[in-house]
Amino acid sequence: MADTATKADVHASTGGAAAFIARSTVKAADLDHRRKINFNIGKYNAAVPKGKAQFAELELARQLAKNRKWQAIEHLDESLLQFEAKFTARGGKVIWAENSAQALDAILQICREANCRTVVKSKSMVTEEIHLNAFLEGNNIESIETDLGEYIQQLDGEPPYHIVTPAMHKSKEDVARLFANKLGCEPNLSPEQLTQVARYKLRQKYVQAEVGITGANFIVADTGSIALTENEGNARLSCAFPNIHIAIVGIEKCIPSIHDLPLFWPMLSTYGTGQKVTVYNSLVSGPRQSNESDGPTQMFVILLDNGRTNLLANAHSREALYCIRCGSCLNACPVYKNIGGHSYLTTYSGPIGKVITPWLQGMHEYKHLSYASSLCGNCTAVCPVRINLHELLLHNRHEAVTQGESKLSERLAWKAWKTASLSRTMMNMGNGSLKNKVVNGLFSDWKKQHAPLDFSAKTFNQMWKEQEGK
């Protein structure tokens, strides 16, 4: 179970570079954490090749998926309006939320009009982004996570550790101890028994809740539907049992057509969990119709911007909006695997989180994330929609400087470095100890997290000349 300080830091979400470095330094030395993560990611790595085998031409499928997301993002205004027209024609209501506050206000108004006391909620990173659970609890509305991993994290007072596998950092023994402490069951239950305990507790909530809240994996423009993909059936129960269904989704989740789902659903499941397709795949196109016997009587879709149009406005960084939230870049990233999801102090961690968070929450506060990368390119290699993540991290660094988010001393140091690098005479001057002192002095901040630079007594240019002279 996480310590109190850890939980407080994570929920504060105002850590900055110093907090990130402090937390990641501690976590990188935690061998027990590394053992658990390597075990769980090892299971993922063994499963993914089996899922990929279903694609006769995997690289062609990836390129097609990227092209379809490109089309959706380049015509996002038209696609969202098409979705709204189709969805409202079936009795649903679309709410446009520019930021977290507008989304939360809309949800609270719906809940109050329904005299809501209990909300059941399926897994949704967007609701984590706007801190929905804390907001509802603050307004005396019980909010229950129904995804098993999210339920575990909620019991432990932690946010998700991973965008697909929320409790990836916990072993089965950790979960057993948590359930014993929070739910009063035996401390040595098996994973199957723990799942049954959670199932019993959650099933009671579905029939009590007045409102069900879900996210959406995709917004389908041409049919006015949201697409949900899951393995537990909790999203179906959350949107079908209560009288009111609220789906909150980022505007970038739009895809042009229902005919894209035979590509995107298997792509998401393969790269997310290694499955050919997840167990439950649902299309929801509005509230209960007059000829239907079940489902909610009211359905709302909240389309959330919350900084996404900042990315959309940048022709280079816009590519990050292609993300389908499979989590494969997190599993591939050597930095993520060493420092863990909570060290980032952000909703979205790993490579994709480092790319989008400075745009969603501010370059000034989160520019440091773009430097927390080896730039090995593994994230780009595994992305199903072929987002050039490592290049976007470099672009973020450039944007930070362009926006004035660099120190004068840093700019002067790099200017001196550029001037010297373009001059062979200067490069050959002061080799060895003198050059070490000058360069290590210029880049003192960089040296805090790296070994000191150690220049040789002679440059290659000098040694080549000497060799040629002999």
- Quick one: pLDDT band at residue 9, thresholds 50, 70, 90? very low
Does 429 lie in the same domain as 288? no
Nearest to 32 by CA among 164, 161, 174: 174
Does 77 lie in the same domain as 196? yes
- Tens-digit pLDDT profile for residues 285-309: 999 999 998 899 999 999 999 999 9
Segment 103-112 shows an average pLDDT of 98
Residue whose structure tokens are 């450039």? 398
Are 133 and 127 in contact by the 8 Å Cβ rule? The answer is yes
Q: Is residue 261 domain-resident?
A: yes
pLDDT surpassing 80 at residue 165: yes
Does 297 lie in the same domain as 435? no
Q: Is residue 102 domain-resident?
A: yes
Give percent of the chain with pLDDT exceeding 70.
96
- Tens-digit pLDDT profile for residues 169-180: 999 999 999 999
Amino acid 470: pLDDT: 66
What are the φ and ψ backbone dihedral angles of 76, each rounded to 5 degrees?
-65, -40
Structural domain range at position 431: 413-469
Q: Is residue 359 domain-resident?
A: no
- Tens-digit pLDDT profile for residues 253-291: 999 999 999 999 999 999 999 999 999 999 999 999 999
> What is the rounded CA–CA span in Å between residue 377 and residue 248?
32
Alpha-carbon distances of 130 from 248, 296, 358, 361, 460, rounded to whole Å: 10, 24, 16, 11, 54
Does 418 lie in the same domain as 304? no
Tokens, residue 52: 């990929």
Domain boundary among 308, 328, 343: 308
Q: What is the pTM of this model?
A: 0.90
Domain boundary among 293, 308, 323: 308
Q: What angle do CA 154, 253, 300 make, to 5 degrees?
A: 70
Does 169 lie in the same domain as 40? yes
Does 431 lie in the same domain as 282? no
What one-letter code names the amino acid at 274? G
Does 418 lie in the same domain as 282? no
Q: E strands along 338-463, which residues?
A: none
- Quick one: pLDDT band at residue 7, thresholds 50, 70, 90? very low
Q: Is residue 358 domain-resident?
A: no
Q: What angle do CA 235, 157, 118 make, to 5 degrees?
A: 45
Are 284 and 339 in contact by the 8 Å Cβ rule? The answer is no
pLDDT surpassing 70 at residue 325: yes
For position 282, which CATH number holds? Answer: 3.40.50.10420
Does 293 lie in the same domain as 156? yes
Are 385 and 61 in contact by the 8 Å Cβ rule? The answer is no
pLDDT surpassing 60 at residue 14: no
Length of the chain: 470
pLDDT surpassing 90 at residue 10: no
Write out 40-109 in H/E/C secondary structure.
HHHHHHHHHHHHHCCCCCHHHHHHHHHHHHHHHHHCHHHHHHHHHHHHHCCCCEEEEECCHHHHHHHHHH
- Tens-digit pLDDT profile for residues 393-436: 999 999 999 998 888 878 888 888 889 889 888 888 877 777 77
Q: Is residue 345 domain-resident?
A: no
Residues 6 or more apart whose CB falls under 8 angstroms from that of 30 comprise: none
Segment 92-112 shows an average pLDDT of 98
pLDDT surpassing 60 at residue 148: yes
Give percent of the chain with pLDDT exceeding 90.
81
- Quick one: pLDDT band at residue 444, thresholds 50, 70, 90? confident
Q: Is residue 177 domain-resident?
A: yes
Amino acid 15: pLDDT: 58
**Domain total in the chain:** 2
Amino acid 413: pLDDT: 80
Does 154 lie in the same domain as 11? yes
Domain boundary among 308, 333, 350: 308
Type and span of the H or E element at 280: strand 280-284
Its sign, for the CA torsion 358, 94, 268, 317, is: negative
Amino acid 13: pLDDT: 45
Inter-helix orientation angle 350-361/389-402, to 10°: 30
- Which residues are registered as beta bridge partners of 282? 228
Amino acid 12: pLDDT: 40
Residues 6 or more apart whose CB falls under 8 angstroms from that of 248 comprise: 97, 103, 107, 124, 126, 127, 130, 132, 213, 214, 215, 301, 302, 304
Q: Is residue 287 domain-resident?
A: yes
Q: Is residue 398 domain-resident?
A: no
Q: What angle do CA 17, 21, 26 make, to 5 degrees?
A: 155
DSSP letter string over 425-453? HHHTTTTTHHHHHHHHHHTHHHHTTSPPP
Neighbours of 415 (CB within 10 A): 10
> What is the rounded CA–CA span in Å between residue 453 and residue 436?
7
Residue 143, SS3?
Answer: strand
pLDDT surpassing 80 at residue 446: no
Mean pLDDT of the chain: 92
Amino acid 386: pLDDT: 97
